[in-house]
């Protein structure tokens, strides 16, 4: 299963083409809608007020409610766009954004309106694709969940099991510990009031993957496969598996996960520092990773930058509607990327 996201924020439509979908999957469209609602903007005070129906229309690949096995294309029409917000500053490269490298890469021909193909809005079709992937995985006993693990230094508790993670997913602000969630929201609110934004991180786990998937080799190892999907999510700047960066502070005697036979005759580990992967291959424990997301680059404060049309220094004062923190809405996006990665790892 491979996906291709297409579309620009203010073009006619955005969407996704999914190839390699197994035939005969009865898609639960309501469930897909719920997943997309988790990402949708305009719902609360920590996200952009832009309203989007985000109702995907499936053009192909589904017949009588089931996947046909041929390419599935779904499109989402663009509605509430206010391109005027962008025209005034279109030549000013927004710091932290891809404006300048995209200007070089695409010879100045990319659609600048609303971030064009770089817009966070493009994560909507990704969530669609991930929702399809999740339904396929669920049939094989594999489940994917995530929660906000930190925002601007406020940390959620570490994930314990599927049930608590599942419960967090249903919250409007997906954390395990709601008290920490309140502190995170306060940090976001304060940043917005100060015309600023904040970064954070998301912890994600894939439960139910069998041992023996992946390989140590380039292009086949489990961490490499997951990381490619995760870094394709805008704003992700770091990916860490298991104990992650804390491995640099550890000794082997701490980091090694001792093995034992469980009552059912399966090999299990007493702890999961490896995050479910050894030598690029799944070991049957939950596959756990954390991604770090940069603060939203779009902030209302004046910023030094360059005018790409005149090639001279300039000061940017940004208008438009922006999330002061992308992390909360990114939780289902990271789950989507993980679900698609898990499908590749399972040979789906």
What does the alpha-carbon distance between residue 208 and residue 140 come to, in Å, rounded to a whole number?
8
Establish if 239 lies at the interface with a second copy (CB under 8 A).
Answer: yes
| Strand 57-58 with 13-19, pairing | unpaired
CB of 127 vs a second copy, minimal distance in Å? 14
Interaction residues for a second copy, span 69-98 (CB under 8 A): 69-73, 75, 93, 95-98
What does the alpha-carbon distance between residue 344 and residue 321 come to, in Å, rounded to a whole number?
35
3-state secondary structure of 132: helix
Establish if 332 lies at the interface with a second copy (CB under 8 A).
Answer: no
Is residue 331 within 8 Å of residue 169, measured between CB atoms? yes
Structure tokens at 312: 């001279």
Among 179, 251, 263, 264, binds a second copy (CB under 8 A): 251
Is residue 287 within 8 Å of residue 277, measured between CB atoms? yes
Among 130, 145, 275, 328, binds a second copy (CB under 8 A): 275
Among 81, 171, 208, 224, binds a second copy (CB under 8 A): 224
Establish if 320 lies at the interface with a second copy (CB under 8 A).
Answer: no
Establish if 313 lies at the interface with a second copy (CB under 8 A).
Answer: yes
Interaction residues for a second copy, span 49-68 (CB under 8 A): 57-61, 63, 66-68
Establish if 173 lies at the interface with a second copy (CB under 8 A).
Answer: no
Establish if 172 lies at the interface with a second copy (CB under 8 A).
Answer: no
Tokens 């399972």: give the residue: 346
CB of 170 vs a second copy, minimal distance in Å? 24
CB of 85 vs a second copy, minimal distance in Å? 17
Residue (33 or 224) nearer to a second copy, CB? 224
Q: Is the dihedral of CA 160, 166, 168, 169 positive or negative?
A: positive
Of 8, 240, 225, 205, nearest in space to 110 by CA = 8
Stretch that binds a second copy, among 29-37, 131-139, 176-184, 196-204 (CB under 8 A): 196-204
Among 47, 48, 89, 283, binds a second copy (CB under 8 A): 283
CB of 133 vs a second copy, minimal distance in Å? 13
State the number of binding residues for a second copy (CB under 8 A): 140
Residue (155 or 164) nearer to a second copy, CB? 155
Interaction residues for a second copy, span 288-307 (CB under 8 A): 292-299, 301, 303-306
What does the alpha-carbon distance between residue 128 and residue 74 come to, in Å, rounded to a whole number?
8
Establish if 179 lies at the interface with a second copy (CB under 8 A).
Answer: no
Q: How far is CA 110 from the centre of its chain?
A: 23
User: What is the Cβ-side half-sphere exposure of residue 36, based on CA atoms within 13 angstroms?
Assistant: 23
Interaction residues for a second copy, span 95-124 (CB under 8 A): 95-102, 104-111, 116-118, 122
Burial class (CB in 10 A: 0-12, 13-18, 19+), 208: middle
Establish if 264 lies at the interface with a second copy (CB under 8 A).
Answer: no
CA–CA distance from 291 to each of 116, 154, 201, 235, 328 (Å)? 24, 15, 6, 10, 13
CB of 108 vs a second copy, minimal distance in Å? 8
What does the alpha-carbon distance between residue 340 and residue 348 come to, in Å, rounded to a whole number?
9
What does the alpha-carbon distance between residue 171 and residue 331 come to, in Å, rounded to a whole number?
11
Establish if 141 lies at the interface with a second copy (CB under 8 A).
Answer: no
Among 46, 86, 152, 207, binds a second copy (CB under 8 A): 152
Establish if 139 lies at the interface with a second copy (CB under 8 A).
Answer: no
CB of 163 vs a second copy, minimal distance in Å? 26
**Secondary element (H or E) of residue 340:** helix 327-345
What does the alpha-carbon distance between residue 127 and residue 149 come to, in Å, rounded to a whole number?
20
Establish if 284 lies at the interface with a second copy (CB under 8 A).
Answer: yes
């Amino acid at each position: 299963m491979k996906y291709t996201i297409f579309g620009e924020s203010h073009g006619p439509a955005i969407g996704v083409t999914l190839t390699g979908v197994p035939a005969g999957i009865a898609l639960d469209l309501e469930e897909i809608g719920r997943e997309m609602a988790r990402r949708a903007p305009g719902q609360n005070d920590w996200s952009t007020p832009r309203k989007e129906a985000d109702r995907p229309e499936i053009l192909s690949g589904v017949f009588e409610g089931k996947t046909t096995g041929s390419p599935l294309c779904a499109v989402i029409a663009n509605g509430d766009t206010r391109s005027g917000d962008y025209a005034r500053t279109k030549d000013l490269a927004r710091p932290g954004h891809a404006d300048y490298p995209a200007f070089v890469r695409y010879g100045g021909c990319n659609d600048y309106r609303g971030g064009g193909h770089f817009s966070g809005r493009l994560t909507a079709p990704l969530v669609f694709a991930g929702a399809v992937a999740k339904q396929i995985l669920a049939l094989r006993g594999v489940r994917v969940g995530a929660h906000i693990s930190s925002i601007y230094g406020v940390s959620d508790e570490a994930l314990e099991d599927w049930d608590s993670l599942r419960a967090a997913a249903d919250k409007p602000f997906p954390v395990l510990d709601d008290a920490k969630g309140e502190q995170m929201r306060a940090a976001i609110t304060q940043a917005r009031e100060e015309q600023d934004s904040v970064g954070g991180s998301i912890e994600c786990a894939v439960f139910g993957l069998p041992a023996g998937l992946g390989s140590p080799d380039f292009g086949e190892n489990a961490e490499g496969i997951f990381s490619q999907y995760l870094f394709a999510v805008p704003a992700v700047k770091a990916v860490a598996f298991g104990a992650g960066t804390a491995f640099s502070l550890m000794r082997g005697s701490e980091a090694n996960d001792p093995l034992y036979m469980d009552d059912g005759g399966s090999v299990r580990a007493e702890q999961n520092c490896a995050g479910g992967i050894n030598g690029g291959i799944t070991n049957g424990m939950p596959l756990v990773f954390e991604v770090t997301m940069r603060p939203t680059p779009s902030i209302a404060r004046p910023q030094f930058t360059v005018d790409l049309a005149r090639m001279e220094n300039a000061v940017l004062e940004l208008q438009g509607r922006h999330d002061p923190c992308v992390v909360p809405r990114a939780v289902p996006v990271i789950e989507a990327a993980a679900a698609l990665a898990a499908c590749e790892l399972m040979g789906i």
